A = this chain, B = another copy of it.
């Protein structure tokens, strides 16, 4: 059994991780870290876990934790993981960081978009960007996995084959994304109250959302050139789900068959990616509760653009599920171990 510790286990992503690991046949949670709820029973904070988890929430004593855990998940605010990481810890355990600390290779971009100093830039280079479908081969040997963001996972997976195969003009990419409210976390903020979110639709972080450079960097690797794009997130009155509607101009001569071929080439053997039939588009309800990313697209002959749409559960493939998938890769398990939840509808 893999012994897992979770720092930040009482946020929505951390708790989903706890839930997935409790159902994982090869892993167990040995440490429910939570500064906010220290000494309280985890199941009193997340009462879905009543009679399932007996443990109390603990502090974040990394020394002890690194001795007890084979892998530590940090589901913590930006800056935390970078502030505690050390050689001493990495000698004993692996880190899957659900924050953004090790996602961007250029520390100046990190510091600019996140507005904080990076406390451990010396570890950025060795950290692997854990988008499993693209980077699994290098993840295997990693000590630090930077678990991708929710919007970024959905956006990159949706656009990757188009960019990688050179079918679209990268300068024309626009990503209009919509997310359920669990993505905003469990912090007590007026903006996330039921009455503020229900019966409302809004864009936020327009031109400034921090997932922008992450998408640009990863798609830039695929394109072999720098990419600058627009990413606009929206808040939707639902608990879970991300839908990314991606626009780009197809290069001259690119056909529908070329597009299909590109997606099949990259994803036909991927268990967690479901390419929709031609013309069919994904919806968040069809992936809710699962680790699937559903992808579909349409080509508009009138404008020469492709509209590619991706859907994931932001807490699963967009956070905890992908973190477990990375753990499976790190420890040589089959990737889908503990992740075969069938989407729940309705």
Residues of A within 8 A of B (CB): 12, 15, 19, 22-23, 46-52, 174, 176, 178, 180-182, 186, 188-190, 192-204, 206-207, 228-230, 232, 234, 236-241, 243, 245, 247, 274, 276, 281-290, 294, 298-300, 302-303, 305, 307, 309, 311, 340-346
List, in ascending order, chain B residues with CB within 8 A of A311's CB: 201
- Give A216 Cβ to nearest chain B Cβ, in Å: 9
Given contacts A199-B199, A201-B236, A303-B228, contact A346 B190 (CB under 8 A): no
Leading 4 A-B pairs by shortest Cβ distance:
A48-B343, A195-B346, A202-B283, A200-B285
List, in ascending order, chain B residues with CB within 8 A of A229's CB: 303
List, in ascending order, chain B residues with CB within 8 A of A241's CB: 199-201
The one of B190, B203, B285 in contact with A281, judged by C-beta atoms closer than 8 angstroms, is: B203
Asked if A48 and B286 sit within 8 Å, CB to CB, the answer is yes
A211–B307 Cα gap in the complex (Å)?
A: 17
Asked if B303 and A230 sit within 8 Å, CB to CB, the answer is yes
Residue with the greatest number of chain B CB neighbours at <10 A, chosen from A176, A194, A243, A344: A194
Given contacts A201-B284, A203-B243, A286-B48, contact A195 B182 (CB under 8 A): yes
State the copy count for this chain: 4
List, in ascending order, chain B residues with CB within 8 A of A206's CB: 281, 298, 307, 309
Asked if B201 and A283 sit within 8 Å, CB to CB, the answer is yes
A105–B197 Cα gap in the complex (Å)?
A: 39
The one of B181, B236, B346 in contact with A240, judged by C-beta atoms closer than 8 angstroms, is: B346
Given contacts A203-B245, A236-B236, A245-B234, contact A188 B186 (CB under 8 A): no
Cβ contacts A to B, 19 pairs, < 8 Å: A19-B342, A48-B286, A50-B294, A178-B234, A181-B195, A182-B195, A186-B190, A193-B194, A195-B346, A199-B199, A199-B238, A202-B282, A206-B281, A206-B298, A206-B309, A207-B299, A207-B307, A240-B346, A344-B344
Given contacts A48-B344, A200-B283, A345-B48, contact A243 B234 (CB under 8 A): yes
List, in ascending order, chain B residues with CB within 8 A of A237's CB: 194, 198, 236-238
